[in-house]
Amino acid sequence: MKKTRMFTFAGRVLKNLFKKPATTQYPFEPAQYPERMRGHIRIEIENCISCGLCMRSCPSQAIRVDRKAGTWTIERFDCVQCGFCVAACPKKCLFMEKGYTEPDILKKSETFTKPKEEKKEAAATAGGKPAVDTEKCVYCTLCAKKCPQEALHVDRKEKIWELDEEKCVECGICAGACPKKAIELKG
C-alpha cells in the first residue's frame, strides 16, 4: 500500500512547458464568451413603455423606472445578472448580453431616456388603462391570460370583464391580444 511515487506530474510539467497556458491571457487576448453568457442588461429604450415591471421584478432593486420623465436607470453594480427583468418585460425590450460592463472605482448607474419624437408612437400602442367595448367582447379570457400583472378578471359565464386599476401597468398587451379588437387604451 505504502509506496513512494515520484515524478507523478512530470508529464504534466513537460506538457505545460510546450503548451499554451490553460488560462486566457486577458486583457491582452480578448475573452471568448459563450452565447448564453449573462454579462449585462441592454435596453432598447425606444420600445420601452415605462411599465415598471422590470423594476418590480428585480430581486436586487437595481432598476429604477421614472414614468413621467421617461427614464430607465440601472445601477450596474447592484445588478446581479439574474435575467428576471428580461423574462418579466412585456415588450421584450430588455436583453441579456454577453460581456461585462467596465469596472470602476465608484458605484455608477446608467440612465436611458426615451427619445421624445417617438413618444407619440409609443403612446399609440400603450398609454392608458384598457377599456372594453362590451358589444364586441366575447369574454374569451385571452386578455386576462396574457396580462403580465394578472390585473384582468374575465368570467365567461357571468359575462364579467373587470380591471384592477392598481395592478394595471398600461402595457397594452391585452389590447394586442384581443381577437375582436374590443379593448381600447384610454389615457
Catalog residues that contact another protein under the rule CB under 8 A. 1-5, 8-9, 11-12, 22-23, 33-38, 57-59, 80-84, 87, 96
In angstroms, give the least distance from the CB of 166 to another protein: 14
Give the residue with the Cβ less far from another protein, 12 or 108: 12
Residue whose CB is less far from another protein, 70 or 90: 90
State the Rg of the chain over Cα: 25
Residue pair 83/128 in contact by the 8 Å Cβ criterion: no
Return d(Cα 119, Cα 153) in angstroms, integer: 30
Minimum Å gap between C-beta 125 and another protein is: 25
Provide the residue type at 164 as one letter.
D
CB closer to another protein out of 3 and 157: 3
Identity of the residue, 33 or 113, whose beta carbon is nearer to another protein in the bound complex = 33
CB of 118 to another protein, least distance (A): 31
DSSP state of 47: G
CB of 164 to another protein, least distance (A): 14
In the numeric block, the cell 385571452 is attached to 142
- The region, left, alpha or beta by phi > 0 then psi within -120 to 50, assigned to residue 81 is left
What CA–CA distance (Å, rounded) separates 170 from 187?
9
